[in-house]
Chain A
Amino acid sequence: MAKVAKSPWLLHYDGSSCNGCDIEVLACLTPVYDVERFGVINTGNPKHADILLITGGINSQNKPVVEQLYSQMPSPKVVVAVGICACNGGVFKECYNILGGVDKVLPVDIYVPGCAARPNAIIDGVVKAVALLEEKRAKMDSEGGNNK
């Protein structure tokens, strides 16, 4: 699993969240956790990203944004929902504007629960996403429809 595994690039999108999980995602990049030692880069560009990391729930305003970001990412790609709000809406679940978790609009592959999700848990989620990326890439190759 060498091809994607050593260089997973993240795209972080902050949905309808309280920003707690976002700060934890950024904490992963700081010297204490330093995800770059695994080759992880937090890119701001969907076209360079392998992993879409979403924090916070989905509302009707950010639904098209999330869908567009996902559609702009080249395959293979994985979606990671970070925090309980991204998993199922969390404490905002009953709000009139919240549609629910990320899985209401995108096929979520990895769920990282927590309020806020700990950096260790986020890194663990990314590691699981990396394994899945490799699986998807192998599938893409075997199906032959790989436009590369």
Chain B
Amino acid sequence: MSTIIGIIAFIVFAPFAGGLLSGIDRKLTARMQGRIGPPILQPFYDVKKLLNKEILLINNMQILFMWCFLVFIVFTGALFCGGSNILLVFFVLTTAAMFLVLEASLTNSAYATMGANREMIQMLSYEPMVLLTAVGFYVATAFSTGTGTFNLHEIVDNSPIPNIVYLPGVFIGFLYILTIKLRKSPFDISMSHHAHQEMVKGVTTELSGGLMALMEISHWYENVFLLLVVSLFIICDAWWSIPLAVVVVAAAFFLEILIDNTSARVKWDVMLKSAWAVTLVFGCINVFILQLI
């Protein structure tokens, strides 16, 4: 029963939460830059506007792939909230990202294609850490309870204390790749929310009207899902872990906005090398130590 409630709650509430988060993000960004900034509900106004615009299609398949992107992102979050297997959740997330790459590639537009290439480099950068996060939870549950598990229900129910205690390195590594996944500077190389990128709008360059609205809504779902993964490091079999998780997720989100506003965009090789270095140094060593003791 709780599984179904979790899935429905995610599908219904995630876009509202995601839109609000996006609005808070823009407001905070503006305040950090000394501006007043748009209203908190601005992302909803934007999507409403986009839905009322004409769609200029280059290839009919764009519609299919954008819908696939949205459906797979929603599916990822629904599996997560339904307490499925964490490996399966991450594989479905990767599938969703591939649809975005396909959509951008088939437009034959120089900027969108370059965005697609960079999106794949981003996937290459964050994917090891994402998988290591799943492995980390397995090793942590094996360490604390004796039997390792990838099942999200068991990860939460069998942990007497937050898993971050066992996985501080994995948590740091996940925060690092979260910057890539949230499309924040310095790693917003395939598509940036800020104007005047060197390649227009990267993967979203050829999306107009309703298709761009789909992109925005998918992004909201994705952001909520990613922050829920952050909360998984905290939530355990104790009531106080839930308010603590809210605080940690809010702090992580604020940190991402701060990094976004204080750093310049890097080249792809810096992103790839640093993401892998962080994965190796923090993630792998953390998992190794847990295995050894």
Contact residues of A with B, CB < 8 Å?
2-4, 6-7, 30-31, 34, 36-39, 41-45, 47-48, 50, 72, 74-76, 137, 140, 146-148
Distance between B17 CB and nearest chain A CB, rounded to angstroms: 20
What are the 9 A-B residue pairs with the smallest beta carbon separation, nearest first? A6-B45, A74-B54, A7-B49, A31-B34, A47-B208, A34-B35, A75-B54, A7-B45, A7-B46
Comparing B36-44, B120-128, B141-149, B217-225, the segment that makes contact with chain A is: B36-44
Cross-chain contact A148 with B53 (CB below 8 angstroms) = yes
Cross-chain contact B56 with A72 (CB below 8 angstroms) = yes
Cross-chain contact A148 with B52 (CB below 8 angstroms) = yes
> Using a Cβ–Cβ cut-off of 8 Å, how many residues does chain B contribute to the interface with A?
33
Cross-chain contact B53 with A36 (CB below 8 angstroms) = no
Cross-chain contact B35 with A74 (CB below 8 angstroms) = no
Give the dominant DSSP class at B's interface: loop
Comparing B5-13, B89-97, B168-176, B196-204, the segment that makes contact with chain A is: B196-204
Closest to A75 in B: B54
Beyond the given A36-B38, A42-B196, please list 19 additional residue pairs across the A-B interface where CB-CB is below 8 A: A3-B48, A3-B52, A4-B52, A6-B45, A7-B46, A31-B33, A36-B37, A38-B38, A39-B42, A47-B206, A48-B204, A48-B207, A48-B212, A72-B56, A74-B54, A74-B56, A147-B54, A147-B55, A148-B210
Give Cα A50 to B53, complex, Å.
9
Cross-chain contact A76 with B45 (CB below 8 angstroms) = no
**Chain B residues closer than 8 Å to A6, beta-carbon distance:** 42, 45, 48-49
Cross-chain contact B200 with A45 (CB below 8 angstroms) = yes
Closest to B30 in A: A36
Cross-chain contact A3 with B54 (CB below 8 angstroms) = no
**Chain A residues closer than 8 Å to B26, beta-carbon distance:** 36
Question: Does B51 count as interface, using CB distance less than 8 angstroms?
Answer: yes
**Chain B residues closer than 8 Å to A42, beta-carbon distance:** 195-196
Cross-chain contact A47 with B49 (CB below 8 angstroms) = no
